[in-house]
Structure 1
């Protein structure tokens, strides 16, 4: 006769456990520590992390257990002991406390106890738990061991003598990042954690090992020795370098952003943060930051007061109202800034307004749209198609979600012009020239694989969205989804592209390409670095150089100074209160964090002042809530369409992807990210067969000529590039002359 459950009213997949006398219902197969955490009962731990596999190697979570009136002979690790019906757990009795204190004593045998000089001091798990479970003196007289440090890159600092071998970092790089770069070497008292090859970490998520490390063995190299945790103020903010909108905290001291850490949000970034979002704050303090209004007079720049700067800007806009004015907005601008820019353009009678500055094909009038399958659900998909995207660089944390899906049994198919390096297994890949992407997506085998899935999703990335024939590729993706029942997830091309679309920052007359093909007499540039942010740099600079330009800018860089007549300094997202809309269509709000540099002002304040100077309606508000109210009624825009650009020129088809750490002006100025191994120098990459046919060799300097212009670049050869294709990364000044289409490559 089988034993009866302690509580027969529980669901069949739950059991009853008693932890410190508290009766709990816990899922079968779960661990004691998970049941205790859910009930708010503290159990000390170092190696356990709820996002990582169980290791049970620190033994700090030892507890006393009892089943059927019989106590276990030895303490049990709470992280690795599954619950069972009627199990009694004691976390604070003499047996448990003695075991936990003994483990702490052993952990401290070799720890250097250098808390006064450790960056982890004040937020160290070992420091916190040793207060409750440690002894005031050590009984060990032997010399402490030391472990040599490794240089594992520009982002993470090491002090491996402090390491307690919890292996959280090892499990993170293996399970979450998928790069398997850290591991345990040697045995017993000689065990060390480190890289096997002595090379820097190459994962785009490397900063997360700092968060998971419970001691000061791995710390933030950019933040190293800058401040103590108790000196810092935390402000809620968002990642603004991709459309995921990762939730994070800015840590400030006296108004300076000293570091960035993740803020838990299971539906967005979980508890992780990409290195791009974590370390980009360095770029806020670049030497060319715009700190005062600047006015060009007689070809020379001079600093002016806000009154004079706004007056000069208003004079330009009054003289070039209506169709002669173009307004171009960076797709990371906030909803409030975008809404006010739409009001400004409307008030000046201009329908030439656009934020889609990295795109080329506007023939289908496509705009950003929310993911067809919520971000958090993608890891539950069983068939995923990555179409025209280097997803690992474009959205690092979406790449991580796809990796989770693969570990859960999903099959991933890739259709790309380059065989990019992904940290998950690929079930099928079709590496073809850009002109063949649409046909490859409709391959019968791929269609059948998606039809046979319970939950399929197609992720369309920047290579497809920004291609000269993007309309055809978008149509192919939509047809594929209609035929298979897959969810369509088009990645918005910009951190707030979806929010700006909803705010009406779209053309009723001329889109960005038409504004450059038929240059206007004046332009407003908002948050744009004109030498690197536009899809067609040559056309952009030609049009801007022949016009009057008012630039609202974070940086007074050379390219902005080269085209602008007035530069009005504005705050970046970490310095202002704002809202952004992420790729799920969720509006998220930030708090003002870092102090504004010099005389820079929040963008909405500058727009309000300019609107007031121009005497435009809807600019009478005095605060941010008033600005939000003023733009709440922005009407939807009937988006104009222009002819698809011809793929002109001779030679190889050009495939363009965004360099991971060259995506926007702030990231490009973050020194640590520029030193990262993933940040490669500008180059052009060909298939070896194409290079040999052209008589070119690896490493040779070549001239690449396209309809846009000519670039001189080093040549790299890679069999992963589709035949007939030349691959470059955007965001580099050297590759900026090459926009799209075809390129002819010859020896320099």
Structure 2
């Protein structure tokens, strides 16, 4: 006869468990710590983390258990003891408290008492729990062990003597990042956590080991020794270096952003943050930051008052209004600024307005669209097809979502010009040159998958063959009843598309190929942000240019007639729309440098100078009340020229050179993933050209030439040359269909 349940009214697959006298319903197979956390009953822990596999090796969560009136002979770890019907748990009785205090005493035997100089001081889990469970005086007088530190790269600082071997960092790199870079070495009291080979961490998510570390063993190397947690103010903000829009806090002291940490949002970034979003704030404080208005004076620039600079800018816009004016906008520009730029373009009578500055082929009039399947739901898909994307570098935390999906049984199929690194197994892959991507999409065999997603990434969207690839992906998705998820090319490309920053006349490429007499460029680094750099610099160099810019860099000075300093997203209140179509709000964190202002304020002042209607608001609330999504009949551009001889160009964005801010973050530039300008060739193509590994090659296109170091890599499709954009050395090649490669 089977035992009767304690509570017959339980939900299906649940049992009754009693914790500290509180009767709870808990799912079968869950652990005591899950039930306690859900009920708000505190149990101390170090190794347990809700997003990581259970290790049960710190033993801090020991509790007393009782079943059927019989007490367990010894305390049980709450994180690894499954619930059962009628289980009684005591977290605060004498037996449990004695066990927890004994564990704490053992943990502190070798821990260095260096809290006054530890960066984790004030937010340390060991510090907090030792206050409640530790002794006031240690009974151990033996010499403490010392563990040698190793250099884990430019982002993570180590003090491994503080390590309590909770293995959270090990489990993060193995199960979340998928790089298996950290592990335990030796045994017993000699156990150490490290990389074994002494090489820097290479995962694009390495900063998360800082967050999961419960002590000061792993800390933020960029933030090290700069401030104490209680000196900092947390400001909610957003990652603006990819379209996911990761939620984060900027920690600020006296107007300076000193570090960034994740802000929990299960639908977006869970509790993680990519290194790009975590460390990019360092770039805000570069030496070439635009801090005062500048006006060209011959070959040089001179500082000017805002009144003089706005008068100069308005004169340029008056002299080059209507079709003579082109307005080019960076795709991470906020919704508020974008709506005002669209309003300004309309008032000046120009339809030459676009944010798609990094895309070569706009012949189909394609604009950013929200994912048909929200990013968080990709974990439940039966099959996912990735088309033209180095996803791990393009949207690191979307790549991490797919890793979770694969672990849950999802089959991933890839169609790419390069066999890009991913941290999960792939069901099938087709590695072909860019011109063949559209042809092979339809040949993918998905079996009997019911829920399918097709993800189209930047390698495809920014290709000279983009229109054909987009059509093939859409046709394939329609035939398979799949959800089409095109990654917006820019942090707010979707929002800018919704708020009308799109051409009614010439698109970005057309207004550069057919040069205008005047331009307004917004948030752009002219030397590196355009798809076709040589054409862009030629067009801008021969025109009058008003530059709204965060940086007074060399390329901006090269083309601009007036530079108006504006704030970056981390310094202003703004709204961005992420790839799911969700509008998210960021609050101003850092202090605006010098005389810089929020972009919307400068646009309003410029409109007043031009005496334009529609800019009568006086604050951000008034601005937001005055704007709304604006449908635009998008003008279709012409297809880019595909002439030329040689190898096809496959271009992807360098992970830490996607925009002006990341390019100036020194720690990111020192990261091993920032490989530098180079060209990667298939061994057969390198042999045909007579090129050896690490040789220098001259690459010639229809528009320009470049000299790059050769890397021979069999991941590259035959007939293809892979480059990364964001480098000045590769800028002449990105928008080219073909390139001739010879020995330099």
TM-score by length of 1: 0.99
Preserved CA contact (<8 Å) 1:656 1:740? no
| Alpha-carbon distance between aligned partners in 1 of 2:194 and 2:359, rounded to the nearest angstrom | 43
| Alpha-carbon distance between aligned partners in 2 of 1:678 and 1:517, rounded to the nearest angstrom | 34
Preserved CA contact (<8 Å) 1:526 1:552? yes
Partner of 2:488: 492
| 2:588 equivalent to 1:575 | no
**How many Å apart are 1:79 and its aligned residue?**
0.1
1:106-153 deviations in whole A, cap 9, x for unaligned?
A: 000000010000000000000000000000000011100000000010
Q: How many residues align?
A: 743
Partner of 2:552: 556
Matches within 5 A, 1:425-504: 425-443=425-443, 446-449=444-447, 452-504=448-500
Partner of 1:420: 420
| 2:132 equivalent to 1:165 | no
| 2:516 equivalent to 1:520 | yes
Matches within 5 A, 1:249-264: 249-264=249-264
Matches within 5 A, 1:124-523: 124-443=124-443, 446-449=444-447, 452-523=448-519
Preserved CA contact (<8 Å) 1:331 1:355? yes
**How many Å apart are 1:485 and its aligned residue?**
1.4
| Alpha-carbon distance between aligned partners in 1 of 2:440 and 2:400, rounded to the nearest angstrom | 25
| 2:536 equivalent to 1:536 | no
Partner of 1:693: 688
**How many Å apart are 1:618 and its aligned residue?**
0.7
Matches within 5 A, 1:5-24: 5-24=5-24
| Alpha-carbon distance between aligned partners in 2 of 1:514 and 1:715, rounded to the nearest angstrom | 33
Preserved CA contact (<8 Å) 1:495 1:582? yes
Preserved CA contact (<8 Å) 1:655 1:740? no
| Alpha-carbon distance between aligned partners in 2 of 1:677 and 1:299, rounded to the nearest angstrom | 38
Select which of 647, 650, 653 maps to 1:652: 647
1:420-466 deviations in whole A, cap 9, x for unaligned?
A: 111111111100011111111111xx2443xx112111110001001
Partner of 1:600: 596
Preserved CA contact (<8 Å) 1:536 1:708? no
Select which of 707, 710, 719 maps to 1:712: 707
| Alpha-carbon distance between aligned partners in 2 of 1:7 and 1:216, rounded to the nearest angstrom | 45
| Alpha-carbon distance between aligned partners in 1 of 2:221 and 2:645, rounded to the nearest angstrom | 47
1:348-368 deviations in whole A, cap 9, x for unaligned?
A: 000000000000111111000
**How many Å apart are 1:12 and its aligned residue?**
2.2
Select which of 667, 671, 677 maps to 1:672: 667
Q: Tell me the SS of whatever aligns to 2:724.
A: strand
The 10-residue stretch of structure 1 (466-475 or 237-246) with the greater mean CA deviation from structure 2: 466-475
| 2:59 equivalent to 1:36 | no
1:664-694 deviations in whole A, cap 9, x for unaligned?
A: 0000000000000000010011101011111
Q: Tell me the SS of whatever aligns to 1:743.
A: strand
Preserved CA contact (<8 Å) 1:178 1:424? yes
Cα RMSD, aligned residues only: 0.7
1:233-267 deviations in whole A, cap 9, x for unaligned?
A: 00000000000000000000001000000000000
**How many Å apart are 1:629 and its aligned residue?**
2.1
Preserved CA contact (<8 Å) 1:156 1:218? yes
| Alpha-carbon distance between aligned partners in 2 of 1:433 and 1:261, rounded to the nearest angstrom | 39
Q: Tell me the SS of whatever aligns to 1:703.
A: strand
1:580-610 deviations in whole A, cap 9, x for unaligned?
A: 0000000000111000000000000000000
Select which of 636, 639, 649 maps to 2:634: 639
Partner of 2:722: 727
| Alpha-carbon distance between aligned partners in 1 of 2:43 and 2:355, rounded to the nearest angstrom | 51
| Alpha-carbon distance between aligned partners in 1 of 2:300 and 2:272, rounded to the nearest angstrom | 46
Partner of 1:57: 57
Q: Tell me the SS of whatever aligns to 1:173.
A: helix
Q: Tell me the SS of whatever aligns to 1:507.
A: coil
Preserved CA contact (<8 Å) 1:577 1:589? yes
| Alpha-carbon distance between aligned partners in 2 of 1:12 and 1:488, rounded to the nearest angstrom | 36
Query: Which aligned segments of 4 or more residues in structure 1 are displaced greater than 4 angstroms?
Result: none
The 10-residue stretch of structure 1 (403-412 or 211-220) with the greater mean CA deviation from structure 2: 403-412
Q: Tell me the SS of whatever aligns to 1:483.
A: helix
Q: How has the CA–CA distance of structure 1 residues 635 and 412 changed in structure 2, closer, same or farther, with 3 Å as cutoff?
A: closer
Partner of 1:630: 626
Q: How has the CA–CA distance of structure 1 residues 448 and 216 changed in structure 2, closer, same or farther, with 3 Å as cutoff?
A: closer
| Alpha-carbon distance between aligned partners in 2 of 1:381 and 1:206, rounded to the nearest angstrom | 27
| Alpha-carbon distance between aligned partners in 2 of 1:298 and 1:15, rounded to the nearest angstrom | 80
| Alpha-carbon distance between aligned partners in 1 of 2:656 and 2:622, rounded to the nearest angstrom | 36
Q: Tell me the SS of whatever aligns to 2:51.
A: coil
**How many Å apart are 1:635 and its aligned residue?**
3.1
Q: Tell me the SS of whatever aligns to 1:331.
A: coil
| Alpha-carbon distance between aligned partners in 2 of 1:488 and 1:511, rounded to the nearest angstrom | 24
Q: Tell me the SS of whatever aligns to 2:331.
A: coil
| Alpha-carbon distance between aligned partners in 2 of 1:447 and 1:410, rounded to the nearest angstrom | 14
Q: Tell me the SS of whatever aligns to 1:379.
A: helix
**How many Å apart are 1:299 and its aligned residue?**
2.2
**How many Å apart are 1:740 and its aligned residue?**
2.3
| Alpha-carbon distance between aligned partners in 2 of 1:740 and 1:176, rounded to the nearest angstrom | 37
**How many Å apart are 1:708 and its aligned residue?**
2.3
Q: Tell me the SS of whatever aligns to 2:563.
A: strand
Preserved CA contact (<8 Å) 1:109 1:140? yes
Q: Tell me the SS of whatever aligns to 1:504.
A: coil
Structure 2: runs of 5 or more not aligned: none
| Alpha-carbon distance between aligned partners in 2 of 1:355 and 1:277, rounded to the nearest angstrom | 22
**How many Å apart are 1:552 and its aligned residue?**
0.1
Preserved CA contact (<8 Å) 2:434 2:465? no
Preserved CA contact (<8 Å) 2:414 2:428? yes
Preserved CA contact (<8 Å) 1:384 1:456? yes
Q: Tell me the SS of whatever aligns to 1:141.
A: coil
Preserved CA contact (<8 Å) 1:702 1:712? yes
**How many Å apart are 1:412 and its aligned residue?**
0.9
Q: Tell me the SS of whatever aligns to 1:189.
A: helix
Q: Tell me the SS of whatever aligns to 2:668.
A: helix
Preserved CA contact (<8 Å) 1:447 1:480? no
Preserved CA contact (<8 Å) 2:495 2:576? yes
The 10-residue stretch of structure 1 (657-666 or 297-306) with the greater mean CA deviation from structure 2: 297-306
Structure 1: runs of 5 or more not aligned: none
| Alpha-carbon distance between aligned partners in 2 of 1:62 and 1:141, rounded to the nearest angstrom | 26
Partner of 1:105: 105
Partner of 1:681: 676
